[in-house]
């Protein structure tokens, strides 16, 4: 087992144990031992399937992801307000657009985070990701212009570094 493999395995054990304890709410010996057996079983299966790696346990994101989540939450709230305003203004204020945007992310994890972030933001949906091009549907052209500005792209790129 390499050093990185050990780190990913340890991370998986900690995450699974925290999920078990958080969902259980009971801390007697029987339930804790059943939790330990369950965690051990899942880790063994994950190793046999060879799925414990940097994508399944992105330790490099752990320090920066919380700041990104806070920023994304702010963007989601602002987009909600924008969509509600468009609904109140009526159908003439909506101008649906489908456009392809370049992505600067190099990893599949970065591309997935970027695509999901676009989809989580109300009024936009990621339709497809092919190599470094993302196809996006937007309720208004303003939303596409915002994405073309590249703020979200840059922030997700920083997560990869």
Q: Which of 137, 155, 157 is nearest to 68 (CA)?
A: 155
- Cα 70–chain centre separation: 13
Is 109 found in the same domain as 93?
yes
Q: Going residue by residue through the chain (161 aa), what tens digit of pLDDT does each one get?
A: 566 677 777 878 888 888 888 888 778 888 889 889 999 998 888 888 877 766 655 555 567 788 899 999 999 999 999 999 999 999 899 999 999 999 999 888 889 999 999 999 999 999 999 999 999 999 999 999 999 999 999 999 988 77
Q: What is the pLDDT of residue 7?
A: 74
Is 154 found in the same domain as 118?
yes
Q: Domain range for residue 111?
A: 61-160
d(CA 9, CA 3): 10
Is 21 found in the same domain as 74?
no
Is 92 found in the same domain as 78?
yes
Q: How many domains is the chain partitioned into structurally? A: 2
Tell me how many helices (H) and strands (E) the chain has.
6, 3
């Amino acid at each position: 087992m390499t050093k990185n493999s050990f780190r990913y395995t340890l991370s998986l054990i900690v995450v699974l144990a925290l999920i078990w304890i958080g969902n259980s709410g009971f801390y007697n010996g029987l339930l804790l031992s059943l939790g330990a057996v369950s965690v051990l079983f899942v880790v063994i299966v994950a190793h046999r399937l060879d799925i414990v790696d940097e994508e399944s346990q992105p330790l490099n994101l752990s320090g920066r992801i919380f700041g990104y989540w806070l920023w994304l939450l702010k963007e989601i709230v602002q987009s909600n307000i924008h969509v509600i305003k468009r609904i109140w203004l009526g159908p003439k204020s909506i101008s649906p657009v489908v456009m392809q945007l370049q992505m600067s992310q190099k990893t599949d994890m970065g591309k997935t985070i970027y695509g999901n972030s676009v989809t989580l933001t109300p009024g936009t949906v990621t339709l497809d990701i092919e190599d470094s091009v993302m196809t996006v549907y937007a309720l208004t052209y303003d939303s596409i212009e915002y994405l073309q500005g590249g703020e979200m792209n840059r922030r997700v790129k920083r997560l990869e570094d």
